[in-house]
């Protein structure tokens, strides 16, 4: 059974809204869609494949649930994604309904198995791409924007924090470790591709970056303890993620108080070929979307930095972990009452 949500206040909706949402989900296929969309952002074709139904039929079900406020819908070029609603009166109801659905139901078991297969296909496709392009990854990045501008922005943000240690998620060739390593005590790079890690190790050794290390790891489940880094960087990785909000939350988990998370990625664009030729899952991110994910992870976003390019614009989003709250010291028992008066 999924964990029951604790946001009972989110169920404060009008009677009409509540009845409308309940009518929208009171159908087997639509309830299955609700559970699937709680597991990540999915397209109509992926959902149709899981359910074994036609795309027009699935689209009609999704439309009803979006209108009821149970699902969010957003378009990126020719693709349309659906996910569990994150705000609005019916979003709390949606989470409660998902939590009430048992995972041992035979239909649900099959749905989740098919969803897992689709996610494996995504991961295999991305891994194959990284493996094929590992030796020329830096040259591919140079097609988008002059990396020196991005690196300068990173140094400007990271410098004042004076981090003892830094984590680079999706380190690729290890370039971020090379650039920021001299400004920190220890620098660790995490990547899912062994080929990329092999390239990064060669580059770090060539650069004499003795304080830089790399290891195999998943950005959704970092093999690291809570609050273990002063700075975390996610550089040109998020557009490959099918769960970007979870990746940001996991990065925030390992951040110490007063630490900084820096996300570097593209602003929204329409270059569809990046999906087909470079395995991009998302065609950029809006400032508001990234800020909402960071706030949900208990971080405080700063103003983004836009580095305009042709045709792509790179954005640098920095968010900070608030300082740890110190418990108030109890007043001494012998303090006279008049001392406490204003």
Tens of pLDDT, residue by residue over 291-312, are 999 999 999 999 999 998 888 8
First to last CA, the chain: 54
3-state secondary structure of 114: helix
Domain 8-107 CATH (choose: 3.40.630.30, 1.10.10.10, 3.40.1110.10, 1.20.1630.10): 1.10.10.10
Q: How many CB atoms lie within 10 A of CB 320?
A: 18
Alpha-carbon Rg for the chain, nearest whole angstrom, is 23
Q: What is the chain's pLDDT, residue by residue, as a tens digit (342 residues)?
A: 344 444 443 456 678 878 888 888 899 999 999 999 988 878 899 999 999 999 999 999 999 999 999 998 877 667 788 988 877 778 888 888 898 887 788 999 999 999 999 888 877 776 676 667 766 555 556 556 678 889 999 999 999 999 999 999 999 889 999 999 999 999 999 998 888 888 888 888 888 888 999 998 999 999 999 999 999 999 999 999 989 999 999 999 999 999 999 999 999 998 888 888 788 899 999 999 999 999 999 999 999 999 988 888 999 999 999 997 654 445 444 433 333 333
pLDDT, one tens digit per residue, over 264-294 is 999 999 888 888 878 889 999 999 999 999 9
Quote the CA–CA distance of 229 and 92 in Å, as a whole number.
33
> What pTM was computed for the model?
0.71
CATH H-level superfamily of 137-320: Vaccinia Virus protein VP39 (3.40.50.150)
Query: Residue 312 in contact with residue 265, Cβ under 8 Å?
Result: no
Q: How many residues does the chain have?
A: 342
Query: Residue 36 in contact with residue 70, Cβ under 8 Å?
Result: no
Most distant CA atoms of the chain, gap in Å: 78
Give domain limits for the chain: 8-107, 137-320
Number of H helices, E strands in the chain: 13, 11
């Amino acid at each position: 059974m999924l964990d029951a949500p604790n946001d009972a206040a989110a169920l404060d909706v009008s009677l009409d809204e509540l009845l409308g949402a309940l009518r929208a989900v009171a159908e087997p296929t639509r309830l299955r869609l609700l559970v699937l969309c709680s597991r990540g952002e999915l397209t109509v074709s992926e959902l149709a494949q899981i359910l074994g139904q036609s795309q027009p039929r699935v689209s009609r079900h999704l439309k009803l649930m979006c209108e009821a406020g149970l699902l969010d819908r957003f378009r990126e070029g020719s693709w349309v994604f659906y996910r569990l609603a994150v705000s609005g009166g019916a979003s709390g109801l949606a989470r409660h309904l998902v939590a009430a659905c048992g995972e041992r139901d035979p239909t649900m078991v099959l749905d989740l198995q098919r969803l897992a297969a689709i996610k494996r296909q995504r991961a295999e496709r991305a891994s194959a791409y990284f493996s094929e392009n590992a030796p020329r990854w830096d040259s591919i990045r140079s097609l988008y924007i002059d990396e020196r501008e991005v690196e300068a922005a990173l140094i400007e943000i990271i410098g004042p924090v004076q981090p003892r240690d830094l984590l680079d998620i999706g380190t690729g060739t290890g370039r971020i470790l090379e650039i920021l390593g001299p400004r920190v005590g220890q620098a660790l790079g995490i990547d899912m591709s062994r080929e990329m890690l092999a390239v990064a190790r060669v580059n770090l050794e060539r650069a004499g970056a003795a304080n830089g290390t790399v290891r195999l790891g998943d950005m959704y489940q970092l093999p690291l303890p809570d609050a273990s880094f002063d700075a975390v960087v996610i550089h040109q990785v998020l557009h490959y993620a099918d769960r970007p909000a979870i990746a940001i939350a996991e990065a925030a988990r390992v951040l110490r108080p007063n630490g900084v998370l820096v996300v570097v990625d593209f602003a929204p664009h329409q270059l569809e070929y990046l999906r087909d030729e470079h395995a991009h899952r998302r065609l950029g991110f809006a400032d508001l979307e990234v800020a909402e994910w960071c706030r949900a992870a208990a971080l405080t976003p700063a103003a983004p930095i836009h580095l305009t390019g042709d045709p792509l614009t790179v954005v640098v989003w920095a968010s900070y972990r608030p300082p740890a709250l110190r418990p108030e010291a109890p007043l001494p028992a012998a303090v006279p009452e008049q001392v406490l008066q204003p």
